[in-house]
Each structure stands twice: as structure tokens, then as C-alpha cells.
Chain A
Amino acid sequence: MVHRLPPQCKLLAVLAFALVVVATPRERFWAFAAYAALLGGVALAARVPVAHMVRRMVIEVPFVLFALLIPVIGLGERITVLGLSLSVPGLWAAWNILAKATLGVAASVLLAATTEPREVLIGAQRLRLPGLLVQIAMFMLRYLDVIMDEMRRMRVARESRGFEARNFRQIPVVARSAGALFIRSYERGERVHLAMLSRGYSGRMPMIRDISASVGQWGTALALPAAALAVLGLSL
């Protein structure tokens, strides 16, 4: 059911949810627990495997590290925990960042796991994001494939001629191929664009499927941020 919701509904729901989370004062521990439970419920309803969620959330790691550093370099009153002198406001800040960032990342991962990228963009267009931006994003996703493909091709080609990227000295080879990669993918992208033009492309993807949302679907999607808002209200 989550998969079939129109993308614009889901996009707005996730954005609203993230806003509620960010606006929640950090002292309300159990509100954050309730948010996590809400997301868990959605993930369950959408049948998104836990392993997938966890794998995609690795993206957060660098900032977790930064957050853990804050109590150490932070200012203000200090307490000693396990022999380390830590800043109390820093600890609060670290908790704040960890909780909110984790919830935000989880919501985004859920959105991405239940919606095709192209659909999200069509949804964004419906939400009045400027057309040029949507188009650039569409082309970006399209060309991302092209570039990844070119990268893969180049890697296979290198390896099948006896190249192994173990050695530090071989960095120049990789660096030289970066420039070539840009031109290759640019020119392939250019030809693909021309192929699109020669089949009548005029700046808008033809709507092969219709995606207007019913009131019911809006209701379903907005249930998530509404519930979050209720939690926030109750916790005050």
C-alpha cells in the first residue's frame, strides 16, 4: 500500500515528519521513541526489510563520529564519564543530533525504498518545484546510470588488460581516466539527449502513467506527520 501511494503525497509526508522531528525539544526522550515506533510501523506496513534499512543508514556514520566528538570539544559545564571530561551541553547536543539525524535518515531511506526515483521527481513537479530543477534532476538520474556504466566499463577494460589497482603508484592511471570519464560520459549523454530529441522530446517527460492523488491517499500519507505532531503535542 505504501508503495502505491502517489509520490507527491509521500514526499510531503516525509518532509513534514522531518520538520516535526527537528522542532521537537531534545529533552522529550519518549517523543523520539514514539517517532521511531511510527517509522517502524510504516516500514512494517511497506514490508521494507530491516537489513535494507540498516545498510542504507550507514550513510550517517561520518556525522555520528562528528556528534561523538562534540562533547569532547564542547564548551560549558563539564562532567566526568568513565574518566573522560565531557561538556554537558555538548552531550545534549550530541544526543540531539544523533536522535534527529537518525530519524531523518530513516524516513528518507523509507521513502527511497518505496518509491522509484523518477516517480519522486514527478511528484516533486506536482508539488510545484521549478520545472527546470526537476528536469535537471531527471537528467542527473538518467546520466548517473550512464556514468556508472562508463565507470564499470572502464574498470572491466582496465582489469582485463592486466591492471590491478593495489598499488599507490597506479593512482595516476586512475586520475587520467577521471578526465576521460567525464568526456566519455558527457558525449554519450549528449548522444542520448539527441536521441531523445529525435524522438520528439520537448523538455517534458511524456506522462505514460497518470499519478494524480485522491483525498483518501493524501489522508493516508499525511497520517504519519499528523501522528508525529500529536506525539509532540502530547509531550508538551
Chain B
Amino acid sequence: MHVPDGFFNAATSISAGVVAAAGVAVCLRGARRELDDRTAPMAGLVAAFVFAVQMLNFPVAAGTSGHLLGGALAAILVGPYTGVLCMAVVLLVQGVFFADGGLTALGVNITLMGLVTVLAGWGVFRLVTGLVRGQVVVAAFLAALVSVPVSALAFTLLFWIGGTAPIDVGTVAAAMGGVHLLIGIGEGLITAATVGAVLAVRPDLVYGAAGLAKPLVLRGADGSGTPVGEPEPAPAAPGALRPFLLGGVGVTLVLAGLVSFFASSSPDGLEAVAEDKGFIDRAADHLFGSWALADYGEVGGIPVGVAGVIGVGLVLVLTGAVAYAARSRNQIKV
């Protein structure tokens, strides 16, 4: 999904650049709180890891293949602020050294693959860990799963607003969302496997899942042991709904903000929307019905934020349901 130069018009590229720069600036301040003096090496390592696994292509149905985005993984391992920084650096390095993603599209790329994936991933992660305490791996799976289609929908939306080609946003969103839901499953599996493995041997490395330290033992000359030191206090249970809401609202705000911000640069799109009265029906129809890009010739354009917001909402509801199911199963077991 690395957007090259020339994909978006200049206004969109620059506006996205402003959004990205603002986001990164906020994260630069927040990151220091997350990791103190180890920020740079830790983030660098996660960035390198994300970069490396982005080269792992896995097959998705119908002859396409996807690769890891890594936003959710980064957020879970080093926290959301540092996570955004990691993604920004990955994209920067890819753009500058590997010509992967255009230099003028850096803002778009950071917004879509950094800000959106991290926010969506982290929001879902907090929601699920808040609902079912200790299910970090499940939460990681869902977070990663959701982050991919959300990012794809954001891309579609942005392209519809400020892209250099006219498209039918509904069909493209449906197609993009569908394919990326599948890619999201791959993303979710790899993320869950990685987080699970790290959790098993270095729980201290998973942000927010701080482990319980055993007390140390001192051994005398006779071989007898005396315990010393007090175990560290257990981390406070993450607040259930509030962080999630913040995350979810954040994602929606970013999308909505982008929509209104770019509306002016794309009058044709707006006019088309204005003409199209029954757009909600149409949107639902497209989201669920027309995977095969059947009627692209006929439609003039589809609701702006609506497709995106519906997409986001749908995904959140879905995750909520899955999390709820997971919790009730958990309770039965206990």
C-alpha cells in the first residue's frame, strides 16, 4: 500500500503531510513518557523488525498477496506513541533508501499506515484487554485484524477525495475492504504469534503487560536461601472502555477530519454526493453486495464519510461482539 508520487493531488499530499507532521510531533512528546532513555534503540529495533516482516508476503485468496503493515504490532510492543514513531521511521527509510513510497507522498503514507493503523490497532487492543483481562494474544490478533481494513478504507476515502483519478468510492471501498480483511487475518496471525512468543519469554517487553517479578534469593555459605526484596506491584488494570473510546473516536476523528478538510479540494465529488439522494441504501448495498465490481459504469459517486464511518463502525461492532464472545467463554471456563 505504499503510495508513490503522483497518486494524490498536490493539495492532498501537502494536507496529509501536515496531519502526519502534527501526529508525529504529538508522538515525539508522548514517546518519552513511554520508554524514557531506551526509546530510540527500542523503537529502532521494532522499526527494523516491522521493516523485515513487511518483506514476508503471504498469499491471500484469488491470486493476490499481502504483507504485514505492523502498526498494531508496534503499538502493542512499544506503546502507541512510540509505535507511530516506528511506523513513521519505517516509511521514511523505505521512501528515502528503497524508493518504496514517494517522497511527496510521505505524509499520506504516514497518515494511512502509521497514524490510522496504530490508532485503530491500539484502540481495539485496549478494548479487548479491558473486556477480557489477560487475553493479550487474542487482543493482539483482533487489533491487527481490524487495523488493516480500516487503513484500506481510509486509503480509499482519501483517494476518492484527493486522488488523481475519479473512482466509484463504494465499489472500491468494498473491494479494498474485502481483500484487506483477508490480509488482516494474516496480519492478525503473525502479530498474535509474535506477541505470544515475546510474552512467553520476555513479558517485560510487551508494553503495558508488565510481568510479576519473583523475589530474589540470597544464598549463604551453607547453601540455605533467604528471600529478599518485595515483588513489584501488579500493574493497574487497564480501564475498560475509556481508552478504547478514545482510540475509536480518534480514528473516526482522523477520518472525519480528513473528509471535511479535503472536501473543498474535490468539488466534483461533493456535487456527485449531493445529487445522489439515496446514498445510504447504496452504501450498504455496495459494502455487502457487490464484491465483483459489477456496476462501476453507472454510479457517479458514493457518500463521503459515510462509507468510511460505516466501515469503522462495522469493524468496531464486530470486534466488540468477538471480544464479548471471548469473554463469556472465559467466564464459563472459570
Flag if A139 contacts B103 (CB, 8 Å): no
Instruction: Count B-side interface residues using an 8 Å CB cutoff.
Output: 66
**What residues of chain A lie closer than 8 Å to B13, measured between beta carbons?**
22
Whether a CB of chain A sits under 8 angstroms from the CB of B201 is yes
Selected from A96, A109, A151, A180, the residue in CB contact (under 8 A) with B99 is A109
Whether a CB of chain A sits under 8 angstroms from the CB of B190 is yes
Whether a CB of chain B sits under 8 angstroms from the CB of A97 is yes
A132 to B85, CA, bound (A): 9
A70 to B96, CA, bound (A): 27
Residue of B nearest to A143 (CB): B48
- CB within 8 Å for A193 and B41 given contacts A108-B95, A120-B96: yes
A106 to B4, CA, bound (A): 11
Flag if B39 contacts A132 (CB, 8 Å): yes
Residue of B nearest to A97 (CB): B6
Flag if A182 contacts B49 (CB, 8 Å): yes
**What residues of chain B lie closer than 8 Å to A108, measured between beta carbons?**
95-99, 102-103
Whether a CB of chain A sits under 8 angstroms from the CB of B189 is yes
Residue of B nearest to A109 (CB): B99
Selected from B45, B165, B171, B193, the residue in CB contact (under 8 A) with A70 is B165
Whether a CB of chain A sits under 8 angstroms from the CB of B51 is yes
**Nearest CB in chain B: distance from A93 CB, A:** 3
Selected from A21, A133, A176, A182, the residue in CB contact (under 8 A) with B24 is A133
Flag if A57 contacts B44 (CB, 8 Å): no
Residue of A nearest to B166 (CB): A75
**What residues of chain A lie closer than 8 Å to B97, measured between beta carbons?**
108, 112, 117, 120
Interface locus among B86-94, B211-219, B246-254, B320-328: B86-94
Whether a CB of chain A sits under 8 angstroms from the CB of B128 is no
B154-212 interface (Cβ within 8 A of A): 163-168, 171-172, 189-190, 193-194, 196-198, 201-202, 205
Residue of A nearest to B86 (CB): A136
**What residues of chain B lie closer than 8 Å to A105, measured between beta carbons?**
4-5, 99, 102
Flag if B92 contacts A137 (CB, 8 Å): yes
A138 to B56, CA, bound (A): 23
**Nearest CB in chain B: distance from A14 CB, A:** 7
Flag if B5 contacts A73 (CB, 8 Å): no
Residue of A nearest to B171 (CB): A73
Whether a CB of chain B sits under 8 angstroms from the CB of A76 is yes
**Nearest CB in chain B: distance from A51 CB, A:** 16
A78 to B297, CA, bound (A): 9
Majority SS at the chain B contact face: helix
**Nearest CB in chain A: distance from B52 CB, A:** 5
A212 to B196, CA, bound (A): 47
- CB within 8 Å for A185 and B293 given contacts A101-B6, A175-B189: no
- CB within 8 Å for A144 and B167 given contacts A112-B99, A175-B190: no
**What residues of chain B lie closer than 8 Å to A76, measured between beta carbons?**
166
Flag if B168 contacts A22 (CB, 8 Å): no
Selected from B47, B53, B165, the residue in CB contact (under 8 A) with A140 is B47
A15 to B92, CA, bound (A): 12
A117 to B98, CA, bound (A): 10
Whether a CB of chain A sits under 8 angstroms from the CB of B104 is yes
For this complex, into which size category does the number of interface residues on chain A fall?
35 or more
- CB within 8 Å for A104 and B167 given contacts A14-B103, A59-B100, A139-B43: no
Residue of B nearest to A93 (CB): B165
- CB within 8 Å for A73 and B194 given contacts A18-B104, A22-B6, A22-B13: no
A185 to B86, CA, bound (A): 16
Flag if B102 contacts A104 (CB, 8 Å): yes
A139 to B301, CA, bound (A): 45
Flag if A97 contacts B202 (CB, 8 Å): no
Whether a CB of chain B sits under 8 angstroms from the CB of A2 is no
Whether a CB of chain B sits under 8 angstroms from the CB of A60 is yes
**Nearest CB in chain A: distance from B114 CB, A:** 12
A103 to B5, CA, bound (A): 8
A203 to B39, CA, bound (A): 10
**Nearest CB in chain A: distance from B46 CB, A:** 8
**What residues of chain A lie closer than 8 Å to B299, measured between beta carbons?**
75
Flag if A22 contacts B10 (CB, 8 Å): yes
- CB within 8 Å for A140 and B93 given contacts A70-B165, A76-B166: yes
Whether a CB of chain A sits under 8 angstroms from the CB of B274 is no
Selected from B10, B171, B190, the residue in CB contact (under 8 A) with A23 is B10
How does the 8 Å CB contact mask read for A172-184 relative to B, with 1 for contact and 0 for none? 0001101110110
Residue of B nearest to A100 (CB): B6
**Nearest CB in chain B: distance from A178 CB, A:** 6
**What residues of chain A lie closer than 8 Å to B205, measured between beta carbons?**
183, 186
A-B residue pairs in contact (CB < 8 Å), sample of 12: A63-B3, A93-B163, A93-B166, A101-B5, A105-B5, A112-B99, A130-B24, A137-B92, A141-B48, A144-B51, A183-B201, A186-B49
CB within 8 Å of A: which residues of B?
A: 2-7, 10, 13, 24, 28, 31, 37-41, 43-45, 47-49, 51-53, 56, 85-86, 88-90, 92-93, 95-100, 102-104, 163-168, 171-172, 189-190, 193-194, 196-198, 201-202, 205, 293, 296-297, 299-301
Given contacts A18-B102, A117-B93, 7 further A-B contacts (CB under 8 A): A96-B164, A133-B92, A139-B47, A140-B51, A140-B90, A175-B190, A179-B193
